[in-house]
Structure 1
Amino acid sequence: MTTELLPNFLGGEWVAGQGESQTLTDPVTGEALVRVSSAGLDLKAGFAFARERGGAALRAMSYGQRAAMLGAVLKVLQANRDSYEAISTANSGTTKADTAVDVDGAMFTLGWFAKAGAALGEARALLDGPAARLAKDDVFRSQHLLLPARGLALFINAFNFPAWGLWEKAAPALLSGVPVVVKPATATAWLTQKMVADVVAAGVLPAGALSIVCGGSGGLLDALAGEDVVSFTGSAATAATIRGHAAFREHSVRLNVEADSLNSALLLPDAAPGSDAFNLFVREVVREMTVKSGQKCTAIRRVFVPAERYDAVAEAIGAKLAGIRVGNPRDESVRMGSLVSRDQYRTVRDGIAALRGVAEVLHDGDSHALVGADPAVAACVGPTLLGARDAAAATLVHDLEVFGPVATLLPYASLDEAHALVRRGQGSLVASLYGADHAALAASCLALGDLHGRLHVVSPDCGAAHTGHGNVMPQSLHGGPGRAGGGEELGGLRGLGFYHRRCAVQAAPAVLEALAPAVIQP
């Protein structure tokens, strides 16, 4: 039986791709689900429609009106949540809890920007700091403004968050007044396409404000213009290819990249076995290894502990991992579902094999019998904890990210050595620190903050309230320097900056005062 071909939405119309299509499958059962294709689309015309129709309509609104629009989108998504859960289970192999991380996380982020944007009221531009005097008698000043970009925002997204990956970018873009074109990763594009279809059907966005291209990415970058912006989430190798395109080299199209990240968890020396900080550390490492089967760009990959705690930590993590049931997410006893595809399964298996060349196996994921799944078909990999007693010599651990339920335990002799080892990740999205010594935690923040987009500091006094190492909150920065891509997203209303252009207006105070009704300090 032929599976349904999902249409693209471009130029204000639903358009089926032509020619060869790609089939999306259930990563647990291998069942064919739907097909996608972007072949034959007129991308340049579709992009022009988004800029001219969608952009103009969005910019005609105030921030407050666009915030209300986001609130309307949220209501549409909430009304259709059950269908999103079904698609996520079928196409991504996720448990209900893992679906919530993606789908409910998307809705929370959308709701946050709707509420924050409402406070911007009727403004049409943003102030960027106070005015500066340019003349001795103060008759000439400089005022920096942020004005919405008049291009479109192209999102080239990864496979692991088909819901959140769209809306964490689209919320600040649409609030800024910039139309969105999303190209979801093919393997899990169904959920993204369904969300876009529901929003389009509800008519809560202006024509051209939201478009989707499913299937191949050929020609997307060729259709860009100078005022557009691009946000890419994926591998560093693909990011390097994108950066070489003429759109960025010759036309200065703005590019934000989130790429590979060897995120760390660091247990400070004061956290003895059995202490609250020690237990919080173990719990979070296990959670990060198993949530979404370790397929999170923020997941913990390297686990740093004092050398004298190495065996105790290995035992404690291993004991918790032994209780994780892996398999078909439709079985309510299953705690961890599958990877998104057999291709990803093979990549993770190859990565584990490579790390085993420099590390010992402390907990073997292969020891888990799959629940309700055929190991010859399902893309399931059990949680695997490796360990390297010589952390400095295990170079590959600091270079290779295995994008699955895999982490490596690494000992350190001093806190200075721990900081140096963490920094060998060459730039990460997040590192988490665990201990009860507030001064030592603060010192580690200063030692590591420049090489991380976010530091998640967990001490017993916030142990019951912290939001989680891997959870990306809309109020906090998401991104990281170096190998993590050098990009920045979210960070509260700072997230609007990527979709605005900064301009210095040099004028008499009276002119700047005349601007006042149209601008606001975010």
Structure 2
Amino acid sequence: MPIASVNPATGETVQTFEPLDAAGIERRLARAEAAFHSYRGTPFAARAELMRRAADLLDRELEAVARTMTEEMGKPLAASRAEVAKCGKAMRWYADHAEELLADEHPAPADVADSGASRAFVRYRPLGPVLAVMPWNFPLWQVLRFAAPALMAGNVGLLKHASNVPRTALAIEELFQRAGFPEGCFQTLLIGSGAVEGVIRDRRVVAVTLTGSEPAGRAVAATAADEVKKAVLELGGSDPFVVLPSADLDAAVRTAVRARVQNNGQSCIAAKRFIVHTDVYDRFTAAFTAAMGALKVGDPMDESTDVGPLASRQGRDDLEELVEDARVHGARVECGGGRPEGWDTGWFYEPTVLTGITPAMRIHLEETFGPVATVYRVADLDEAVAVANDTPFGLSANVWTTDEAERERFVRDIQAGGVFFNGMTASHPALPFGGVKRSGFGRELSGHGIREFCNITTVWIG
């Protein structure tokens, strides 16, 4: 079955590609194995020079890459441009810092002597070809936040991208080729999901990383575990956005809107559940609802558009089902709640605010992947923490307070991989990124991320 690039704003097919057959997959796996044996020995300075060249190419071609992403998955063009720029910065960050992040580690001399060694140290060595199974929502950033550290560590990459962004996937492979990386260092596999298990099980693939849905993560993790191969998973999120009485409400509302509708609401780290102390609930909810209702939905290529279409018809259908279930069970629709008028083509959905949420509603526990916000009223700090943790996910959390004791309480008790105070959750190459519970395991970015796919080797010399 062909792999199609479909414009979600119009529903029109832009281009189709034939998936790789078994022989095509074999050629790429053999190429990856051969590339690793030579590339692993290149010095950090040589890898860094190649990575900077790739970043320079990306910067020069920012507009074309951004337009391709918007055409394939529907995010506003301004957001696509920002994503491309962010990738270039991250690539340079790893080019600048990889050598120090992977430098040999030396235990204290007394500990070395106590071990009976004359010398001992820890060295980080690359593992080999790593398969990356990546999603469509940040089609460039999700890939390059894996590829930059993996390649700088001396590994080689194989990309199985989401099937609705094949043009972006091929552009990434071409980017590394044109930058001068040796043949086979980074390759795109245009394959369907049914072929992923076979690639993971291939002896030449040493590890796998996945960003995506919980069902996809379960399948990939199960196969990797069966093969006793390393896996890193970044799955869904239903991030809380907690507003306490000491918060700057104007800033909290402005940030809440951006945090909910970033990427058309299709982000694992988007704030989705807004948990508001009763003392400020009415003011926050009124202002938040007004701001959400004022957003412009439209053509993502239009510079004035705030929210574009969802990436697929199925994604919109799933979102509609969640909202309708909540409505049937008593939720109040403060704004939105349906398809916008005037958009008969494409997969658009209105920015929506729901209140009166109860555990009887699916939306209480399921992730909303679109511009739909749920707002909860809580009586005190204890209830805020309890509601924030009442989710199967644990990716990140936003908390708005100026009270140091309240901050310490959330740092101690929140079940998430990150806690952001008085700001919006975002990823940065210097900070580790990942979650707990059903949001996955392992970390990307920072030194923690680059070491995920390294052989942490103890060297002992008697």
Q: Which bin holds the TM-score, normalised by the shorter protein? A: over 0.9
In structure 2, what is the equivalent of residue 161 of structure 1? 138
In structure 2, what is the equivalent of residue 32 of structure 1? 13
When structure 1 is superposed on structure 2, of 178-187 and 190-199 the one drifting more is 190-199
Deviation at residue 72 of structure 1 after TM alignment = 0.9
Which one of 210, 216, 226 corresponds to residue 192 of structure 2? 216
Q: What TM-score results when the alignment is normalised by the length of structure 1?
A: 0.82
Q: Deviations over 1:439-460 (max 9, x none)?
A: 3222221121xx21111111xx
Supply the distance in 2 between the matched residues of 1:155 and 1:400 (Cα, whole angstroms): 25
2:360 counterpart of 1:378? no
Deviation at residue 68 of structure 1 after TM alignment = 1.8
In structure 2, what is the equivalent of residue 407 of structure 1? 373
1:225–1:253 CA contact under 8 A, matched in 2: no
Supply the distance in 2 between the matched residues of 1:80 and 1:139 (Cα, whole angstroms): 53
Deviation at residue 192 of structure 1 after TM alignment = 2.4
Q: What TM-score results when the alignment is normalised by the length of structure 2?
A: 0.92
2:314 counterpart of 1:343? yes
2:3–2:16 CA contact under 8 A, matched in 1: yes
Correspondences of 1:427-506 after superposition (within 5 Å): 427-448=393-414, 451-458=415-422, 468-469=424-425, 471-490=426-445, 492-506=446-460
2:232–2:442 CA contact under 8 A, matched in 1: yes
In structure 2, what is the equivalent of residue 286 of structure 1? 257
Supply the distance in 2 between the matched residues of 1:366 and 1:136 (Cα, whole angstroms): 68
Deviation at residue 131 of structure 1 after TM alignment = 6.0
Q: Which runs of 5+ in 2 are unaligned?
A: none
Letter paired with 2:169: T
Q: Deviations over 1:172-199 (max 9, x none)?
A: 0000000001111011221221232243
In structure 2, what is the equivalent of residue 420 of structure 1? 386
Supply the distance in 2 between the matched residues of 1:102 and 1:270 (Cα, whole angstroms): 33
In structure 2, do the counterparts of structure 1 residues 137 and 104 end up closer, same or farther at CA, with 3 Å as the change threshold?
closer
2:39 counterpart of 1:58? yes
In structure 2, do the counterparts of structure 1 residues 385 and 75 end up closer, same or farther at CA, with 3 Å as the change threshold?
same
Supply the distance in 2 between the matched residues of 1:433 and 1:178 (Cα, whole angstroms): 38
In structure 2, do the counterparts of structure 1 residues 141 and 226 end up closer, same or farther at CA, with 3 Å as the change threshold?
farther
What is the SS of the residue equivalent to 1:337? coil
In structure 2, do the counterparts of structure 1 residues 483 and 59 end up closer, same or farther at CA, with 3 Å as the change threshold?
same
Letter paired with 1:51: E
2:30 counterpart of 1:48? yes
Correspondences of 1:282-321 after superposition (within 5 Å): 282-321=253-292
Supply the distance in 2 between the matched residues of 1:48 and 1:95 (Cα, whole angstroms): 39
2:123 counterpart of 1:145? yes
Letter paired with 1:171: A
Supply the distance in 1 between the matched residues of 2:261 and 2:325 (Cα, whole angstroms): 20
Letter paired with 2:449: G
In structure 2, do the counterparts of structure 1 residues 417 and 39 end up closer, same or farther at CA, with 3 Å as the change threshold?
same
Supply the distance in 2 between the matched residues of 1:170 and 1:334 (Cα, whole angstroms): 31
What is the SS of the residue equivalent to 1:496? helix
In structure 2, do the counterparts of structure 1 residues 252 and 87 end up closer, same or farther at CA, with 3 Å as the change threshold?
same
Correspondences of 1:182-331 after superposition (within 5 Å): 182-200=159-177, 202-223=178-199, 224-225=202-203, 228-245=206-223, 247-249=224-226, 251-271=227-247, 277-331=248-302
Letter paired with 2:450: L
Deviation at residue 36 of structure 1 after TM alignment = 2.5
1:359–1:394 CA contact under 8 A, matched in 2: no
2:95 counterpart of 1:114? yes
Deviation at residue 118 of structure 1 after TM alignment = 5.9
Supply the distance in 2 between the matched residues of 1:412 and 1:388 (Cα, whole angstroms): 12
Across the two proteins, how many residue pairs are aligned to each other? 458
2:129–2:156 CA contact under 8 A, matched in 1: yes
In structure 2, do the counterparts of structure 1 residues 426 and 29 end up closer, same or farther at CA, with 3 Å as the change threshold?
closer
Deviation at residue 203 of structure 1 after TM alignment = 4.8
In structure 2, do the counterparts of structure 1 residues 420 and 57 end up closer, same or farther at CA, with 3 Å as the change threshold?
same
Supply the distance in 2 between the matched residues of 1:209 and 1:297 (Cα, whole angstroms): 29
Q: Which runs of 4+ in 1 moved over 6 A?
A: none
Amino-acid identity (%): 24
1:429–1:484 CA contact under 8 A, matched in 2: yes
Letter paired with 1:167: L
Supply the distance in 1 between the matched residues of 2:295 and 2:253 (Cα, whole angstroms): 14
In structure 2, do the counterparts of structure 1 residues 136 and 238 end up closer, same or farther at CA, with 3 Å as the change threshold?
closer
In structure 2, do the counterparts of structure 1 residues 193 and 227 end up closer, same or farther at CA, with 3 Å as the change threshold?
closer
2:461 counterpart of 1:507? yes
1:258–1:479 CA contact under 8 A, matched in 2: yes
Q: CA RMSD in A?
A: 2.3
2:44–2:98 CA contact under 8 A, matched in 1: yes
Supply the distance in 1 between the matched residues of 2:192 and 2:170 (Cα, whole angstroms): 14
In structure 2, do the counterparts of structure 1 residues 355 and 105 end up closer, same or farther at CA, with 3 Å as the change threshold?
farther
In structure 2, do the counterparts of structure 1 residues 418 and 111 end up closer, same or farther at CA, with 3 Å as the change threshold?
same
2:55 counterpart of 1:74? yes
Deviation at residue 235 of structure 1 after TM alignment = 1.0
Q: Deviations over 1:341-361 (max 9, x none)?
A: 222211221122223335221
Supply the distance in 1 between the matched residues of 2:317 and 2:361 (Cα, whole angstroms): 22
1:280–1:434 CA contact under 8 A, matched in 2: no
What is the SS of the residue equivalent to 1:489? coil
1:305–1:409 CA contact under 8 A, matched in 2: yes
What is the SS of the residue equivalent to 1:382? coil
Deviation at residue 94 of structure 1 after TM alignment = 2.1
What is the SS of the residue equivalent to 1:474? coil
Q: Which runs of 5+ in 1 are unaligned?
A: 1-19, 272-276, 459-465, 509-522
In structure 2, do the counterparts of structure 1 residues 21 and 215 end up closer, same or farther at CA, with 3 Å as the change threshold?
same
Which one of 94, 97, 112 corresponds to residue 75 of structure 2? 94
